Amino acid sequence: MSGVPLFNLAPNLTVSRLCLGSMSFGEQNTLAESFQLMDQAFHAGINFFDSAEMYPVPQRAHTCGRSEECLGRWISQRKIPRDSLVIATKVAGPSGQMTWIRGGPKCLDAANITEAIDNSLLRMQMDYIDLYQIHWPDRYVPMFGETEYDPVQQYASISIDEQLEALSAAVKAGKIRYVGLSNETPYGLMKFIQVAEKYASHLKIVSLQNSYSLLCRTFDSAMAECCHQESISLLAYSPLAMGILSGKYFSPGGGPTEARLNLFKGKYSEGESRYNLSKKIIKAATMEYLDIAKTYGLHPVSLAIAFVLRHPLVASAVFGATKSWQLQEVLNACKIELASEVIEDINKIHLRFPNPCP
């Protein structure tokens, strides 16, 4: 394998700087198509694959878990050495909607975390998970486009101590190697790190998977300082802002009918609330970034991915692809270095349109 740069995320955990997300596997992509995409990614030098127990999206009872199953079957059928891959997945936080996942799931207590880990291992047909992440916090936090914390919405939640004790037990049992957080706040990250010191001899939080793109740079405020000071790496998800930054939704007719925001219109609230092109500020900012790409002779995908990868705290960009040519565009992007004048122009747009997709 060659072509994609590597990053040392933790001791004995080297990841490719591109991470193929599997949230389309089992929904937009058939098993055969998923295999083809993973083959292409692996042979190009990607060793890092990300999933979640709730995938694919949009989440539905009869498809839940298929993404992990696709990933596990690919590894098994292709006979890929397990130690040549870094497999990440996630436990779903509280959700009254997904009643098919442990009855809600109502909370992230020890029993829920343990059951989720065991189920993921069964679906993926493997003995251990390299990076296990809490998909979103058990406690109330503003997420998926919300930006303001409302103390009135706080509810009783499972203690971070209990969550980490369950994860610590899984590490001791050899079920998971490292722990990561996702959709977290600076407070949450620091609190998890503080509590994790109890288990410092064997439990290590190594990553934060939050949104980061040209349209969402909220990480760069308080969270960036926390990650820098605590040696936590960012796994930047939605580097293409759910495909908006590729420019495909600006083609005649509003883009391909099979594009996610068109295919699942009205069925994927988490994505639509954040990446809504009917909001003038999102459309205006995106158009200006697309103009920058055109001015400098760059593919829009190259501009978006290269911008994310140049960040000193980003270990890997977590992206999705449903077509071979989309995957190839991202692979091409990791070879691009943006000139200083490109960054200057990007920052000028950011000053006028700060974080339209938080």
Cβ neighbours for 237, distance < 8 A, ≥ 6 positions apart: 21, 182, 209, 210, 211, 212, 318
Catalytic residue among 55, 199, 249, 275: 55
SS3 of 109-178: CHHHHHHHHHHHHHHHCCCCEEEEEECCCCCCCCCCCCCCCCHHHCCCCCCHHHHHHHHHHHHHCCCEEE
Residue 134 C-beta-side C-alpha neighbours within 13 Å: 28
* Selection from 79, 218, 58, 71 nearest residue 142 by Cα: 218
What is the token pair recorded at 114? 């343990």
Q: Partners of 178 in the beta sheet?
A: 131
Q: How far apart are CA 56 and CA 70, in angstroms?
A: 10
Say how many C-beta atoms besides its own lie within 10 A of residue 95's C-beta.
16
Give the type of residue at 177: R
Look up tokens 């820098």; give the residue. Answer: 228
Let me know: does 101 contact 95? Beta carbons within 8 Å.
yes
Let me know: does 104 contact 98? Beta carbons within 8 Å.
yes
Q: Tell me how far the alpha carbon of residue 343 is from its chain's centroid.
A: 24
- Told to judge if 132 belongs to the known catalytic residues of this protein, a careful annotator would answer no
Q: Tell me how far the alpha carbon of residue 342 is from its chain's centroid.
A: 26
Q: Which helix (H) or strand (E) holds 87?
A: strand 86-91
Q: Partners of 318 in the beta sheet?
A: 19, 237
Q: Which helix (H) or strand (E) holds 173?
A: none
Which active-site residues does the annotation give? 55
